[in-house]
């Protein structure tokens, strides 16, 4: 999976990785032309030329690179390799948060709601006004800018801080509204059950740095109010419907706002709670593609829904394969499942500090299991998948497409389960037992008929033998 890396100078951008040989030649000409201009462009008052060496020019570029947000970027633009199979999954439909989609004219109708939430925010504390809030956010501006990739047309400091204030107050007050933390005499500004809002707040490109949200929340926080991250988890529990994203799990996690990047990261933290921080599994052994669910079933694998989820279990570490038994927690597939999974995968794939890649590996594992609607039907009959989107082939298509562009690391989280399943299928005796079970003992009536046929065959054989041996004894 190739990534495009750009080095930005004061005047132009020079792509380091052109897409074709012709592009490479053209870009080389641009670089030479740029260097030539810079070498001959300087003039002192007397008219003499002042040349810059090539080393000086690139030193300036390197300095710009060091000052850029490459190292501190946490809110990414989704790379083409992940987005090309479904670009709509990363684009907001109702509200823009942050700078990436700010100019989308289709989202401007929500700006009045942002103002309504800003007014409610300011009314929470006496003497609080817009100017004071913007001055507070100016202290975070430089750090906030570095969280994004190459933001164009930022405007002046005040405009950027106004965006942080409007969007940040919307997020903070919307979450509070969902938690019923607003004046009793007032009504909801927005229907908190509008799933489009929740959908848009989970998009990777539609985020604000969490330290900005936490700063705003702290400015108007009540004494008995829960930390913002806990409120986020409590609010998104019903929207993120898989184990173990529960209200109880939020109380067990140490709250540290400094280590939280954005709202999507909050969901990632609580969803993966109970998993080890580092994958202890052997990364030296590579795994192969596991047979699909139908092939595993025909080889004698029994699929069981994992119901007993303890305090330290979740969607990921509850998937186990032992002695021909595959245990998988029940997983509901809804309209927004693909969007949420895709954005969590994009966050993992583009974050160098996230390992293991839990959601990336989970969707890859499900893609192994599901090749067609037959596999979905089998898993659905076993209670593992709950299909809330329509036909089984739609679920199959979802998992077949969602893995497009996903890079699989050697530390694949379900490596051991895949290896055990493959080894199980290689044993001929397992397949023979499975054939007997499926063809002759699939239900009690078929089993009884099979046993009766075997007994009848044995009796017939005995009768035949006695028929031949009887006259000899006489």
Predicted confidence pLDDT, tens digits, the chain (474 residues): 444 334 333 334 333 434 444 544 454 454 454 445 444 454 444 444 456 788 888 877 777 666 555 567 999 999 999 999 999 999 999 999 999 999 999 999 999 999 999 999 999 999 999 999 999 999 999 999 999 987 866 666 788 999 999 999 999 999 999 999 988 888 889 887 777 899 999 999 999 999 999 999 999 999 999 999 999 988 887 777 776 555 444 555 556 778 899 999 999 988 887 665 444 455 545 667 899 999 999 888 999 998 766 655 678 888 999 989 999 998 899 999 999 999 999 999 999 999 889 999 999 999 999 999 999 999 999 999 999 999 999 999 999 999 888 998 888 999 999 999 999 888 875 555 545 454 544 556 555 665 666 777 787 778 788 777 766 554
Query: In this structure, what DSSP letter does residue 124 have?
Result: T
Q: Residue 183: what pLDDT?
A: 84
- Tell me whether residue 322 is exposed, middle or buried, using C-beta atoms within 10 angstroms of its C-beta: 0 to 12, 13 to 18, 19 or more: exposed
Beta strands in 11-62 (DSSP E): 13-15, 42-43, 49-50
Q: Residue 67: what pLDDT?
A: 56
Q: Residue 193: what pLDDT?
A: 72
Q: Residue 35: what pLDDT?
A: 45
Q: Which among 345, 387, 394 has a CA at the least distance from the CA of 365?
A: 345
Q: Residue 4: what pLDDT?
A: 39
Residues of 335-356 as b/e, b for ≥16 C-beta within 10 angstroms?
Answer: ebbbbbbbbbbbbbbbbeebeb
Strands 325-329 and 302-306 turn out to be parallel
Q: Which among 146, 19, 166 has a CA at the least distance from the CA of 76?
A: 146
Q: Tokens 């489009």 appear where?
A: 196
Q: Residue 346: what pLDDT?
A: 97
**Token pair listed for 292:** 């699909």
Tell me if the bond preceding 244 is cis, omega within 30° of 0. yes
Asked if 367 contacts 341 with a C-beta cutoff of 8 angstroms, the reply is no
Euclidean distance between CA atoms 108 and 462, whole angstroms: 88
Full strand arrangement of the beta sheet holding 320-322: 302-306, 325-329, 320-322
Beta strands in 36-126 (DSSP E): 42-43, 49-50
Q: Residue 5: what pLDDT?
A: 36
Euclidean distance between CA atoms 358 and 413, whole angstroms: 7
Q: Hey, how many other C-beta atoms are within 10 angstroms of the C-beta on 377?
A: 19
Q: Residue 232: what pLDDT?
A: 92
Q: Residue 19: what pLDDT?
A: 44
Q: Residue 187: what pLDDT?
A: 87
């Amino acid at each position: 999976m190739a990534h495009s890396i750009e080095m930005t100078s004061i005047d132009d951008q020079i792509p380091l990785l052109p897409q074709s040989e012709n592009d490479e030649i053209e870009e080389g000409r641009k670089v030479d032309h740029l260097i030539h201009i810079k070498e001959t462009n300087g003039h002192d008052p007397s008219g003499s030329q002042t040349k810059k060496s090539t080393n000086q020019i690139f030193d300036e570029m390197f300095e710009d690179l060091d000052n850029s947000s490459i190292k501190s970027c946490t809110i990414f633009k989704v790379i083409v390799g992940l987005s090309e199979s479904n670009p709509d999954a990363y684009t907001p439909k109702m509200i823009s948060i942050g700078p990436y989609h700010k100019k989308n004219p289709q989202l401007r109708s929500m700006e009045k709601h942002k103002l309504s939430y800003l007014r409610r925010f300011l009314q929470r504390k006496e003497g609080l006004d817009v100017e004071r809030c913007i001055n507070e956010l100016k202290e975070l501006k430089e750090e906030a800018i570095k969280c994004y990739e190459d933001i164009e047309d930022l405007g002046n400091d005040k405009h950027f801080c106004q965006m942080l204030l409007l969007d940040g107050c919307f997020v903070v007050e919307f979450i509070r509204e969902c938690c019923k933390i607003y004046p009793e005499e007032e009504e909801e500004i927005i229907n908190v059950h509008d799933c489009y809002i929740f959908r848009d707040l989970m998009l990777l490109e539609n985020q604000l740095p969490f330290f900005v949200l936490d700063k705003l929340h702290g400015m108007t926080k009540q004494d008995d109010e829960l930390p913002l991250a806990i409120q986020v988890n409590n609010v998104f529990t019903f929207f993120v419907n898989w184990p173990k994203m529960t209200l109880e799990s939020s109380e067990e996690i140490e709250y540290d706002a400094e280590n939280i990047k954005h709202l999507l990261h909050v969901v990632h933290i609580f969803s993966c709670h109970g998993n080890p921080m580092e994958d202890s599994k052997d990364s030296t052994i590579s795994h192969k593609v596991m047979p699909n669910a139908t092939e595993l079933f025909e080889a004698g694998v029994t699929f069981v829904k994992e119901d007993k989820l303890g305090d330290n279990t979740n969607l990921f570490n509850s998937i186990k394969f032992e002695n021909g038994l595959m245990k998988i927690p029940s997983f509901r597939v809804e309209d927004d499942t693909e969007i949420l999974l895709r954005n969590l995968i994009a966050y993992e794939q583009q974050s160098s500090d996230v390992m293991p890649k839990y959601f990336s590996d989970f969707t890859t594992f499900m893609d192994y299991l599901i090749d067609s609607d037959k596999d979905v039907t089998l898993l659905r009959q076993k209670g593992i998948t709950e299909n809330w989107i329509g036909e089984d082939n739609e679920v199959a298509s979802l998992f077949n497409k969602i893995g497009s562009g996903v890079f699989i690391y050697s530390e694949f989280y379900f490596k051991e389960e895949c290896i055990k399943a493959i080894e199980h299928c290689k044993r001929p005796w397992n397949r023979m037992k499975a054939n007997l079970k499926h063809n002759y003992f699939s239900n009690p009536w078929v089993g009884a008929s099979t046993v009766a046929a075997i007994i009848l065959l044995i009796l017939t054989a005995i009768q035949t033998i006695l028929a031949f041996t009887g006259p000899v004894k006489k």
